[in-house]
Amino acid sequence: MSIKIQPMGDYQTNCYIITVDGKDFIIDPGVGATNWVKKNVSNPVAILNTHGHFDHVWSNDELSKLLNIKIYTPKQDEFMLKQDPYGLGMPPSTPDYLVEEDEELDFDGTKIKYHFFPGHTPGCSAIEIDNNLFSGDFIFYNSIGRTDFPFSNPNDMKNSIDKVLSWNKNIRIYPGHGQATSLNQERASLENWKNYL
């Protein structure tokens, strides 16, 4: 497995290209992601959204049409892709597949697990591929996603933190912004954030 990463747009949102067994998966194509993705894929298979915020889905529609691939989005965040709720002129996109809570997808033998961690958004999820967790805006290095936005929910975030802290394994974490980390490295920080919410 290989991981390519490129921060995109004003918010430096991490766009990832994950290549497994010759298949390229694009995670969170944000503002201006199209050219970079186009240059770095040879066999694109799917666009995977961790959640519906504009800086993670801005290039969904353009890339989907250009590469002729489907968009996979957490079911609860579908409305954000279609309605541009923050009024920023985001190009709307229509998910081809609405991912259910904690659903595992199978792409011709490549297993991709969506873990449901609401709080930052109603459908906020982290995507697990080969013991790597692409956490979107759920977990960052020494931090968590904000819960003071429209459609955020601090109580949901507390429950999501409890859920991930119950995992009895370590896992590498690649967040939606900033540097990579690991679950074991973040356990103390997550406990502190949970008490702060």
- Determine the Cα–Cα distance for residues 124 and 11; give it in Å rounded to an integer: 18
Instruction: Locate 133 and state its tokens.
Output: 């967790």
In a structure prediction context, what are the per-residue pLDDT tens digits for the chain, which is 197 residues long? Answer: 999 999 999 999 999 999 999 999 999 999 999 999 999 999 999 999 999 999 999 999 999 999 999 999 999 999 999 988 888 889 999 999 999 999 999 999 999 999 999 999 999 999 999 999 999 999 999 999 999 999 999 999 999 999 999 999 999 999 999 999 999 999 999 999 999 98
Given a contact cutoff of 8 angstroms between Cβ atoms, the answer to whether 29 and 64 are in contact is no
| Residue in 75, 76, 41 with CA at minimum distance from that of residue 59 | 41
Write down the pTM of the prediction: 0.97
Domains along the chain?
2-196 (3.60.15.10)
